[in-house]
A and B are shown apart, each in its own frame.
Chain A
């Protein structure tokens, strides 16, 4: 059985799944639109949680939040199910496929056979759509892939029941109720306001404050942790910023695309200008990554080099702070 489903590659898996599922249900919504309305853009630093033996840096909202907020703001109802037993999870999936309903799944990346070995880490917040079953093989639309692929029953069970942080527990989701027409205008404004609020929040672990905290720590790393660990941490920042699914520059380009599309939709020229500004900020993040990579490539331990990237990061924080304050006033 195969559901007539159009696969379209996206930069990021969660936006991509939402965008593809929406299209399947007759609503054309772009990936940046989903990302912006869902207030996906963020910066967060969680030094007390370690992933791959380095602190957590993230440039996006928590997994699942983007779709939830997008759905709430556009009046869509999403059904979500988690399972204790793999058997029950498989049965519910098969049931939905029989009803011609493609579903989104949260999966772990570590056991995805079509990912290159180097990319297979214990990261459990990947998303994909299952749109059919051919004998023992599930038909998979993974938004970060150019074309569709398949997984055997056993392979799919393994990734659906991956363990560790954010364990998916067979998590399956799909939209069940839609408004008559999507009213994006209000949703866009709400999404923008939330991102502005989050990015300028008065707490040290999110937004521009978190960037400043990271910058401060980068200056201390070489003395406190030694070159090897300091470089490993720096590498982790760059990986999180530029990993598959960010669209480049830690999601800043996707956000710029969202601002451009919104500016046109709302006839708001200020948003178009802000889109250009965000593109420049994205370029600065890229420059930061280039300079950081020079440090860990040469394994240099000059404190100077660390100070330089820290200063760069502080400059970006200053720019983003001004940006989000101005953006807040534009809507």
Chain B
């Protein structure tokens, strides 16, 4: 890529004052660096990924409201986690976390266990018990 071809598309990097650094060749064929404000193909990929997460969150929320899942499943999606990551944060086996997704099991969890989840999501136990915040 030539230095003057480094893309300067609009992206969500701007809001945080971050610019991407590219390696590109100047007019003499020498390698140099150039900052970029963004590149459309990449922005679309990221937007799609974010949208995918939002859909997962909404779906989990609906399932919690239908009493099919416990709020833990909702907060996991909200925090862009998967089972492995959440299990690692709370220090349980994955199958145990999965079990805690069951509303009936969730209701019987001890305050100590609940606190672990609340800490992982950086919320209070009260907040952990509901999804409509």
Contacts and interface: CB of A to CB of B under 8 A. Distances in A.
24 contacts: A11-B23, A32-B31, A52-B82, A53-B56, A114-B16, A116-B13, A118-B47, A144-B18, A146-B17, A146-B19, A167-B88, A236-B45, A239-B45, A239-B49, A242-B39, A242-B45, A247-B22, A248-B22, A249-B1, A256-B23, A257-B23, A282-B1, A292-B41, A293-B41
Contact of B1 (A121, A231, A286, A290): A286
B61 to A, nearest CB: 17
A260 B48 CA distance: 36
B104 interface: no
Nearest to A288: B41
B41 A254 contact: no
B23 A238 contact: no
Nearest to A145: B18
A296 B23 contact: no
B62 interface: no
A254 B18 CA distance: 19
Contact of A247 (B18, B21, B47): B21
A260 B31 contact: yes
B1 A283 contact: yes
B20 interface: yes
Interface of B: 1, 6, 12-13, 15-25, 29-31, 33, 35, 39-42, 44-50, 52, 56, 79-82, 84-85, 88-89
Secondary structure at the B interface, as helix, strand, loop or mixed, is: mixed
A110 B40 contact: no
Interface size class of A (residues with CB under 8 A): 35 or more
Contacts of B49: 52, 232, 235-236, 239
Contact of B16 (A116, A165, A243): A116
B18 A253 contact: no
A11 B22 contact: yes
A52 to B, nearest CB: 7
B85 A163 contact: yes
A164 interface: yes
For the complex of A and B, the 5 pairs showing the least CB-CB separation, nearest first, are A293-B41, A257-B31, A164-B85, A253-B23, A163-B88
